Structure formats: structure tokens, C-alpha cells
Amino acid sequence: MLDLIMQGITEIMHINTLLFILFGVAWGTIGGMIPGINATIAMALLLPFTWGMGPTNAIVMLCGVYAGGEYGGSIPAILIGTPGTNAAACTVIDGHELHKQGKTGLALYTSLNSSVFGGFFGAIALLFFAMPLAEVALAFGPAEYFALATLGLTMICSLGEKYVFKGILAGFIGIFLSTVGFDPIKGVPRFTFGVMSLNSGFDMVALMMGFYAISEMFKQAQELLGGEVFELKGDPDTHFPKWKEIKGLFKWNVFGSIFGTIIGVMPGAGATTAAFISYSEAKRISKDSSSFGQGNIIGVAVPESANNAATGGAMVPLLALGIPGSNSTAIMLGALMIHNVSPGPMLFINTPEIPYGIFVSLFFANVFLFFVGYMFIKFAIKITSISKPVLIATVIALVYTGAFAYSGELFSIGVTLAFGVVGVLLRKMEIPHTAVVLGFVLGFLMEANLRRGLIISEGSFWGVATASPISAVLLAFAVFSVGFAFVRGLRMSKAELS
Amino acid sequence: MSKKILMVVLSLVMVMTLVVGCGSNTPAPTTAAPTTQAGGGETTPEATTSLAYPEDNIEVVYHSKAGSGGDIFLRTMGKALEPALGVSWVVNNMPGASGATAFEYAASAEPDGYTLLGVSSTIITAPLISGMTTTYKDFEPVCMMFTDPMVVFVQEESPFQTLADLIEFGKANPGTLKIAGGTPGELGFVVGAELMRVAGFEMALVPFEGGGDAAVSVLGGHVDGGIGEYAEIASSVEAGKLRIIASLNAMPEAPEIPTFASEGYPEIQIEKFRGVLAPKGTPQEVIDKLAEMMKTAFDDPDFQQYIKANNMIPNYKVGAEFTAIMDAQHEQVKSTLE
């Protein structure tokens, strides 16, 4: 093992290779910062340039982009309340609140520290436990995915803040949105009204950017009209957090990283799911759960460590099984294939320098990420001094560009705009749009896998529920948490009435 | 200092936005010079007689994202082709609307040989599944290059050693056999449906999106076996985790793998092809010249290595022969959807 790691280090320790990683990190961070461009798109843009490089350089640069992209999304999330990437959507909730309170430096640097921590955690897990983690991926069949998605959906109950039932309603809206497009089992289009562009369902990028970025920009524009412009009182505090503050978040970083790594491993889940699930689990177990959403720094640390830890996790199925678990790793698969390297179990035997090179490069990428992030934060803070109308116009233009880039269709821009308007309405009605997005992300996973599970169990729901101890336990948790939420919801409604 | 960093970062942001906005969908400068026949009924003589093709970059539209299998095929072929072409081979990914965006864009492009459509069997299956108006019939065949071998595979410890074992079990226990494959209309599903029809037995086909997820569920023992592309499971087969019990297509690199034909089902013929089409009305001379140049791409050593590494079967077919394969597949898929 040690000699293989050494081999990986010698593979990476070239000035060119290190520069490629550094460039990848910077490129990824910038891509992440631009709303609508996520790690996947930033990687796809670089892909054509990787074909002149060796396979190792190509893949390590993409690893850098991946790490940078998952981090970069948090910067606009905190500063302008618009996530740069889907996986940073959770960071908006508390991060932007902290910025409004003037604790800008604390939020930005905590997000950076947690991202780097999560990245290291994921890389270590990948290095030492790639094979056992691959077993986790294999243990998850349709029944287990169904159970996981169901448990994830029960979090909706806790996202409704004051109104549990509004959260549940929002979740159902999201689940409905996820049914638009091809039926995952029968292969026929549903709810598309003959619109071809809807066949593959709503684009995740378009939907999330509509809900989070466009609706936030509309809201801010409206505030400008109404004259109630949010102004920071004095200069925001932009100091690097004190050691005591960093140390206090250590256990939350570990918490987020564990969720991120494990959920990242599962094909079909990924960084966004990891961020959402870890955030609401942190909220659930925290002693101080009512302060989440009001600017609790834990609400930044947990999802940010989770989405970066997911990068290490997501490499597990790619390298150990040869199967990409996410869009980003699918691009990495492409980058390897063009160099006639096919990932999978044989990679460790035929060309061990590539997987071990990737492991080592992830460590370097996270070291670079710290410095790149540190520099970018210094200048990103200036964003807040840009005039609001200019900023709003720029963000909207960038979001539309990103939505268009993802699919190459003007239709996506329409979808983004439509969800932006819906997002404004939801805000007005105090229906939590995060719950809608969660329903959308997990609804499809739940439906497709329930139906696959039912084919395997020959139509028996009980057979799906008891397919394995994993599915049984996860579903039992789900039932328990729904029951708990209903009791809480009823008690709250009574309290409101009386 | 910080001003400089700011400038660098801002210009990178600009570059990325421009690349995103323009790169993904800029039609390569569609030639104005050689084709001016749009105006009247008269056919410009130089378009038909001169073989000064190509004089401008060729845009190849593909319906899947950058980095997907078909995208890599087109780009690797482009690398092998460009020296002969003397112009750039620009792959333009249009993943929207499950293929319709790319198909419609290419079908309505000027039929001058400067806009082509890279295709896989999706050009047959997608229009049938979602009732698109643009189908393979709106294009001229340039050439078919490869077959992606499709295989039936099981976990290494599976009791099924041969295709006959699997079918026998299916016959003895109707409905209990679970095989992972694609959704209805996809080729994995078509293989399963054809096998059941020809061999006369029942099994449950569990649809997965993409072969990778199907392979994971076979590896994890959640289903009894799977049907998919060899390329997606090759590494697991080599590592001794999955075992192929039969292939739909004879593989020159792995002659020991039994085929459906050698196992007694020669009538089940399904070829997942990769090739290039041109918009209807593209001059035959242009198509011939392109097809000829693509044939020489096979001689490129890098391309040869790509073929081997990705377990593809070279299968060069032009004109009516290529059309016949598409026609046959169209009927096959259509019949399993009914």
C-alpha cells in the first residue's frame, strides 16, 4: 500500500502536474462562484483541452475542478443569497443570514475551512476505504435506495419551520415536478403535454437556479423598488475566525464529512443530496435547532464539509467499479476513456499510478483550495459594494447563460424564469422552496426505485420494505420521524389557533 | 496587487461565461461561399461538380453530453480524421429533449456536408419512444463505423453458466427470473423481449437508466443478471466479478465468448451501432468523399487503440447497407413497443 502511495506521489510531483491541479482548482472555484455553472459544467468546458495531456494530468486537473467547484458555490450563497451551485443551496439558509448580521468573514472562512476539511476527509476515506465503501454502494439496491429516499423526504417535515404542513405540501409539489418527463419504468413521457423539451424532465440546474437565484434576485429587486434596501451597518467583519471558533466546529465538520462521504459513494445520490441530508440531520440533533436558519454557523460548516467530502466518495464507484455515480464523475470517465484507460477494478492492477495519482492529487487539490479560496474571498467581499441593480442584472444574465449551457436549449431559460416566478410566489405564501427542491431531487429516486423494487419483489410492498436489514431500518426511521413531525405539527396548529 | 488578482479573476469569469454561452451551441460558421442554391430552383453547378470539399469546418451534432461514450467516439474519430480533412471536425453537444434538439437541428441544417449528425441506436429508439417527428428517415446515411457489443451477464457466483441454463430456469419458474436492462424501447429491453419471444419463456425485466446502474445491481446481487453494453462492464468482467454468458455480437477480441447465434438463437440480431448521418439532400459526392475519409480513419494507430480499449467491433457499412440495418432495427424496436 505504502509503495503504491509513493508511486502516486511520484506521479503527481511534477511542476506541470501541480500547476494543472492548481489551475483546475482556480477554474473550478470560479465556475462554482458563477450561479448556474457547477462543477460538472466547469469540467465539461475543460474536457476538450485534456485530450492533449497525459491521462494522469487530465484526470488530476478535473479532480481540482471538482474540489474547487463544490467549494466555490458557497461564496455567492453567503454574499448575495444566491447559490453558485446546487450543492451550495443549503449554505444560503444560514450563510446569507450571517452576512446580513455582519459576520461575513466568519461565514466565508468557515465555509472554506469546512470545504477543505471535508475534501481531506473524503480523500482519506477514498485512500484507505475505497473497497469497503464500494461494498456500501453495492449493498444499495432498489429497495435500499427507496428506503433512503423516503427517509430523506421525511426531512421535509423539519424544513417547514413554523408550519410543518406547509413543508409537507411543498414536498408534494416537488415530488409532482419530479414526475414530469419519462416514466422511469414504462419509458413513456408523462405530463409533458407534447413538449419535446420536457421529455427528460425539468433540468435540475434550471429548476434550482430558478428557485434560488432568480427568485432571490426578483425579491431583492422588489426591495429596491420598495426602498427597503438592505444595507450593511458599517463595514462587515471580514476577519479570519479565531482558533476557538474553528475548533468548536470540528465535530460538525466530521459530522458533515461522514454524511458527505457515504452519500457521495452512492450512485444516484451525490453532493446536493449529501448537503441537504447532513444539514437537516444536524438541525435535528442539535441542541439549539431553532437557531438554524437564523444565522447559525453550524448551518454553514455542515453542508459545506458534506458537499466537498462527497467528491472523495463519488470517486469510489468510478474507480472501484468503473461506474460513474454522478455527472461530474461521468466526465472524468470520459477523460480517462479518451486516453484508452477504462476505470474499474482492473485499474488498480494494470495502471495503479492512475488511481493512486488521483488519491494524492485530491490532497494537493485541497491544500491549493485553501489558498485559492483565501485569495478569492479577499476580492469576493468587494461584490457587496457593487451597486445592487448592476449586481442583480449580472447574476440574472449569468444564471440564464448557465441554464442554457447545460442543455443547449433556449427552453431551459424559460424554465429557469418560470421557476423564478414560482419561487417568488412560494416565498410570498411562506412555503419553503427548499422542501420543493428536496421533493424534486428525492422524489424521482424514490419512485423509480420503489417501482424497480416492486418488480423484484413481484408486487409485494412488504417485500420491498423487508428486502434487507438496511431497507427495513431506514424505513422504520422514516415512519418514526413522520409520526414525530405530525405530533409536532398538530401541537403547533393548536397553539396557533388558541 | 489585489487589483491585479481582481482583474485576472474577472477576466477568467468573462472567459468562462463566453465559453459557456457561445461554445455549447455556436453553429460552426455555416458556409456561405460554396452553397448559394437556397435562392432559386437552379442548382449551382459548382456544388455538384467540384469536389473541393471540405473547405470549411465540419460541425458534427451529437445528442449527448460532452464526455459520454458517443461524444468520445466522435471526437476520437475527429482526431484521426482531421489530417485528411484539412479542416476542423467540431463536435457540438446538444443533449436537450432526449435527442430531439440535436436531431431537429441537424435535419434542418443546410444539406451541404458541413453539418452532420453523429448517431447511435438512439436515433432509432428515441423517436419511437417519444413520438418525435424527426427520425433517421430525414437523413442520408454517411457511414456506420462500429457496433458496441451487447451482452447478457451474471454475477461470478451465479449458478447460470450458459444462456441455456438461464432460459431453462426461466421456463421452469415463470416470472421469478429478474434481469436488469433498459426501459422499454431501449436496446437492452429489446434484447430481453426478443429473447423471451423467441425462446418462449417469461422473466421480469427491471428497467434501469444507463447500463452502469444495472451493472451495480447485478454486482450487488439485487437481480439475477443483466443485459447491457460490454464496454460498461468490461473491467468487472476482467476482475472476475461479473461473467458474460452470451454476447449479441461476435467479438473479434474475445472469440471465446459464446454468441446468441452459437447458442442457438441466430434470429435474435441486435446491433447497437455508431455512425454518422447527413441531412437529407446532401450531395452524394460529398457523402462518398466523407465516407471514404472515415474509412481511412481506421488506419490511424491511435484510433485502433481506442477501438481495442473500448471493446468496440469495427463494422464499416455505407449507403443502402447502413439504411437496411436502421430499417431492421426500427421494425424490431417498434414491435417490442406494441
pLDDT tens digit sequence for A84-141: 888 898 899 899 989 988 888 999 999 999 999 999 999 999 988 888 888 888 888 8
Is the per-residue pLDDT at A258 higher than 90?
Answer: yes
Is the per-residue pLDDT at B33 higher than 60?
Answer: no
Maximum distance among all Cα pairs of chain A, rounded to whole angstroms? 71
Q: B256 lies in a domain?
A: no
Residue A344: the pLDDT is 80
Mean pLDDT over the full length of chain A: 86
Same domain, B61 and B210: no
Residues 81-120 of chain A with CB under 8 A from chain B are none
Q: Is the peptide bond before B54 cis (omega within 30 degrees of 0)?
A: yes
Nearest to B36 by CA among B110, B96, B115: B110
Residue A424: the pLDDT is 93
Contact A185 B79 (CB under 8 A): no
Is the per-residue pLDDT at A55 higher than 80?
Answer: yes
Q: B31 lies in a domain?
A: no
Residue type, B42: E
Is the per-residue pLDDT at B125 higher than 70?
Answer: yes
Residues A86 and A272 sit within 8 Å (Cβ to Cβ): yes
Same domain, B242 and B283: no
Q: B95 lies in a domain?
A: yes
Residue B9: the pLDDT is 65
Which of B76, B184, B216 faces A187 most closely, judged by CB atoms?
Answer: B184
- By C-alpha distance, the chain B residue nearest A41 is B20
Same domain, B74 and B221: no
Per-residue 3-state assignment (H helix, E strand, C coil) for chain A:
CHHHHHHHHHHHCCHHHHHHHHHHHHHHHHHHHCCCCCHHHHHHHHHHHHCCCCHHHHHHHHHHHHHHHHHHCHHHHHHHCCCCCHHHHHHHHHHHHHHHCCCHHHHHHHHHHHHHHHHHHHHHHHHHHHHHHHHHHHHCCHHHHHHHHHHHHHCHHHHCCCCHHHHHHHHHHHHHHHCCEECCCCCCEECCCCCHHHCCCCCHHHHHHHHHHHHHHHHHHHHHHHCCCCCCCCCCCCCCCCHHHHHHCHHHHHHHHHHHHHHHHCCCCCHHHHHHHHHHHHHHHCCCHHHCCCCCCHHHHHHHHHHHHHHHHHHHHHHHHCCCCCHHHHHHHHHHHHCCCCCCCCHHHHCCHHHHHHHHHHHHHHHHHHHHHHHHHHHHHHHHHCCHHHHHHHHHHHHHHHHHHHHCCHHHHHHHHHHHHHHHHHHHCCCCHHHHHHHHHHHHHHHHHHHHHHHHCCCCHHHHHCCCHHHHHHHHHHHHHHHHHHHHHHHHHHHHHC
Residue with cell 470517486: A315
What is the number of structural domains in chain B? Answer: 2
Residue A255 and residue A282: Cα distance in Å, rounded? 8
DSSP string of B33-53, one letter each residue:
SS--TTSSSSPPHHHHH----
Residue B22: the pLDDT is 54
A26 pLDDT tier (thresholds 50, 70, 90)? very high
SS3 assignment, position B181? strand
Same domain, B154 and B132: no
Residue A452: the pLDDT is 93
Instruction: Among B247, B263, B296, identify where a domain stops.
Output: B247
A338 vs A298 pLDDT, higher one: A298
Which of B65, B75, B185 faces A187 most closely, judged by CB atoms?
Answer: B185
Q: Which helix (H) or strand (E) holds B76?
A: helix B69-85
Same domain, B102 and B189: no
Same domain, B277 and B143: yes
Q: B60 lies in a domain?
A: yes
Name residue B91's beta-bridge partners: B60
Considering chain B, what percentage of its residues have pLDDT values greater than 90? 34
B85 to each of A429, A494, B70, B73, B90, how far by Cα in Å? 60, 76, 21, 17, 12
A160 pLDDT tier (thresholds 50, 70, 90)? low
What ipTM goes with this model? 0.82
- By C-alpha distance, the chain A residue nearest B211 is A323
SS3 assignment, position B90? strand
For A360-418, write each residue's pLDDT tens digit: 999 999 999 999 999 999 888 888 778 888 889 989 998 898 888 777 788 889 999 99
Give which of B65, B155, B202, B303 to mutate to test A binding, by max A Cβ within 10 Å: B65
Contact B309 A337 (CB under 8 A): yes
Contact B16 A404 (CB under 8 A): no
Least Cα separation, residue A186 to chain B (angstroms): 6
Same domain, B241 and B330: no
Same domain, B142 and B154: no
Q: B46 lies in a domain?
A: no
Least Cα separation, residue B257 to chain A (angstroms): 19
Same domain, B277 and B296: yes
> What is this structure's pTM?
0.83
Residues A112 and A71 sit within 8 Å (Cβ to Cβ): yes
Name residue B246's beta-bridge partners: B152
Contact B98 A199 (CB under 8 A): yes
Range of the domain at B291: 55-148+272-337
For B172-225, write each residue's pLDDT tens digit: 998 899 999 888 888 888 899 999 999 999 999 999 876 678 888 999 999 999
Residue B17 and residue B19: Cα distance in Å, rounded? 5
Contact A323 B65 (CB under 8 A): no
Is the per-residue pLDDT at B41 higher than 70?
Answer: no
Least Cα separation, residue B222 to chain A (angstroms): 6
- By C-alpha distance, the chain B residue nearest A319 is B235
Can you read off the three cell numbers belonging to residue A216? 432571490
Can you read off the three cell numbers belonging to residue A126? 477514498
Same domain, B243 and B314: no
Q: B227 lies in a domain?
A: yes
Q: What is the CATH number of the domain that holds B240?
A: 3.40.190.10
Name residue B153's beta-bridge partners: B226, B244
Same domain, B232 and B173: yes
Mean pLDDT, rounded, for A421-445: 88
For B240-253, write each residue's pLDDT tens digit: 999 999 999 988 88
For A233-253, write each residue's pLDDT tens digit: 556 777 888 888 888 899 999
Same domain, B143 and B283: yes
Is the per-residue pLDDT at B1 higher than 70?
Answer: no
Q: B208 lies in a domain?
A: yes
Contact B98 A196 (CB under 8 A): yes
Residues of chain A positioned with their CB less than 8 A from the CB of B9 = 30, 376, 379
Can you read off the three cell numbers belonging to residue A392? 442583480
Residues B246 and B263 sit within 8 Å (Cβ to Cβ): yes
Q: What is the CATH number of the domain that holds B325?
A: 3.40.190.150
Q: B253 lies in a domain?
A: no
Residues 206-235 of chain B with CB under 8 A from chain A are 206-209, 212-213, 215-217, 219-223, 231-235
